[in-house]
């Protein structure tokens, strides 16, 4: 969303009838996912602001397949594309703002910006968000976390929008929150799948601005040292199983460097799949994911659960996958 002069919190305005955002037909999703692979969306929309998003949603046919995308850091769109509408929420110019003793952040805000905003206010507890490579909306949807903290630890309430363009403010206790999991409780009327996050209120504890900025620098240094940030990737591919680490299991199976087509398991961090130069296809990535799961199951009896969301249609048959270790 691109209108910075408006609060992300507002009510539905039926007097607005003109769509003002950008409609992108047959949009290549490889441009919008961090793996730099995948097919096209039937159409994508970039809303100007929340009011514009309301207008757009009200104009869609009932039952239209919908996908809200932030920075695409936890997403794979299959090569056959997504036969529906994608809403592109990331706004590179978005800023957080204070509201009483809380921070209000739009869903399109990059998570590291929220971390820095909180640190500069002398607040403690948001530093880990500097290591979350996505938007606030994506972090809410999957309860993203790292370094011992999770997004919903500090959330007091959220703002959502439904298919009809209606805006809602939801309490934290309306959601079932867990490890890489967020879903509205079944007792509530509107299912989670029909609502998308547009903003959230965070409450962090008082601390030292200097100490928070130092912690952010330390966490980012750890991230650079341990993760293949110089190559297209989608962050951690698998959830950590109870009392273990996915990376340890994958590495113990000898899968570091194992490749399919143009992609491979990172030599730097075994729970990352990298796509050097964007040469690999979505099918390469999905096949490698399944291969890693199968090998870990065969050798350890542990079923790895992907963190990444995989959507869309499979493409037509092409060349067979090329198995083996990829060169650097």
Residue 236 belongs to a domain: no
- Beta-ladder partners of 196: 161
Provide mean pLDDT across the span 277-293: 97
Nearest to 120 by CA among 139, 143, 138, 103: 103
Domain end call among 88, 108, 128:
88
Residue 174: predicted pLDDT: 94
* Domain shared by 217 and 116, yes or no: yes
Can you tell me the distance from the alpha carbon of 128 to that of 212, in angstroms, rounded to the nearest whole number?
Answer: 10
Can you tell me the distance from the alpha carbon of 314 to that of 298, in angstroms, rounded to the nearest whole number?
Answer: 26
* Domain shared by 73 and 31, yes or no: yes
How many percent of the chain have pLDDT more than 70? 88
For residue 162, pLDDT beyond 70 = yes
DSSP sequence for 123-134:
EES-GGGGG--S
Token duo for residue 201: 């209120």
CATH code, 277: 3.90.78.10
Q: 75 near 312, Cβ under 8 Å? A: no
CATH code, 131: 3.30.465.10
Which range marks the domain in which residue 195 is found?
Answer: 97-226
Residue 10 belongs to a domain: no
**Total number of domains in the chain:** 3
Residue 47: predicted pLDDT: 96
CATH code, 40: 3.30.43.10
Tell me: the pLDDT tens digits for 106-140? 999 999 999 999 999 999 999 999 999 999 999 99
120 contact partners, CB below 8 Å, separation of at least 6: 209, 213
Can you tell me the distance from the alpha carbon of 278 to that of 268, in angstroms, rounded to the nearest whole number?
Answer: 18
**Token pair 């968000």 is at which residue?**
129
* Domain shared by 81 and 107, yes or no: no
Work out the end-to-end distance of the chain between its first and last CA atoms, rounded to an integer number of angstroms.
38
Catalytic residues: 180, 236, 307
Tell me: the pLDDT tens digits for 32-56? 999 999 999 999 999 999 999 999 9
Domain end call among 88, 107, 125:
88
Segments in the chain forming alpha helices (H): 50-58, 111-120, 136-142, 209-226, 246-252, 282-300
For residue 298, pLDDT beyond 80 = yes
Residue 152 belongs to a domain: yes
Residue 187: predicted pLDDT: 63
Domain end call among 88, 106, 141:
88
Q: Is 238 exposed, middle or buried (0-12, 13-18, 19+ CB in 10 A)?
A: buried
* Domain shared by 107 and 192, yes or no: yes
Collapsed DSSP state (helix, strand, coil) of residue 82:
strand
Provide mean pLDDT across the span 59-80: 95
Mean residue pLDDT of the chain comes to 90
pTM of the model: 0.88
- Sign of torsion, CA 179 237 76 46? positive
Residue 75 belongs to a domain: yes
DSSP state letter for 100: T
* Domain shared by 108 and 211, yes or no: yes
* Domain shared by 270 and 309, yes or no: yes
């Amino acid at each position: 969303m691109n209108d910075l002069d408006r609060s992300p919190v507002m009510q539905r305005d039926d007097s607005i009838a003109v769509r003002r955002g950008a409609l992108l037909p047959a949009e290549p999703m490889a441009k919008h996912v961090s793996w730099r692979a995948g097919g096209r969306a039937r159409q994508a929309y970039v809303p100007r602001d929340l009011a514009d998003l309301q207008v757009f949603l009200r104009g869609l046919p009932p039952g239209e397949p919908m996908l809200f995308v932030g920075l695409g850091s936890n997403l794979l769109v299959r090569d056959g594309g997504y036969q529906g509408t994608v809403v592109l929420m990331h706004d590179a110019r978005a800023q957080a703002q204070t509201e009483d003793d809380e921070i209000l952040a739009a869903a399109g805000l990059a998570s590291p910006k929220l971390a820095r905003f909180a640190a500069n206010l002398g607040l403690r507890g948001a530093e880990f968000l500097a290591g979350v490579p996505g938007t606030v909306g994506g972090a809410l949807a999957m309860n993203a976390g790292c370094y011992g903290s999770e997004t919903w630890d500090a959330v007091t309430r959220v703002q959502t929008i439904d298919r009809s363009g209606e805006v809602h403010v939801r309490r934290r206790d309306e959601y079932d929150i867990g490890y890489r999991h967020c879903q509205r409780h079944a007792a509530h009327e509107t299912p989670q799948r029909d609502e998308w996050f547009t903003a959230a209120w965070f409450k962090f504890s008082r601390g030292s601005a200097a100490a928070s900025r130092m912690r952010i620098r330390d966490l980012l240094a750890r991230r650079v040292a341990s993760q293949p940030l110089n190559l297209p990737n989608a962050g951690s591919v698998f959830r950590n199983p109870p009392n273990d680490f996915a990376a340890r299991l994958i590495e113990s199976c000898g899968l570091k460097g194992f490749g399919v087509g143009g992609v491979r398991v990172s030599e730097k961090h075994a729970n990352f799949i990298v796509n050097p130069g964007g040469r690999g296809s979505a099918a390469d990535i999905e096949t490698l994911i399944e291969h890693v799961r199968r090998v870990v199951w065969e050798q350890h009896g542990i079923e790895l659960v992907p963190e990444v969301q995989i959507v869309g249609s499979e493409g037509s048959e092409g060349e067979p996958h090329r198995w083996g270790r990829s060169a650097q």
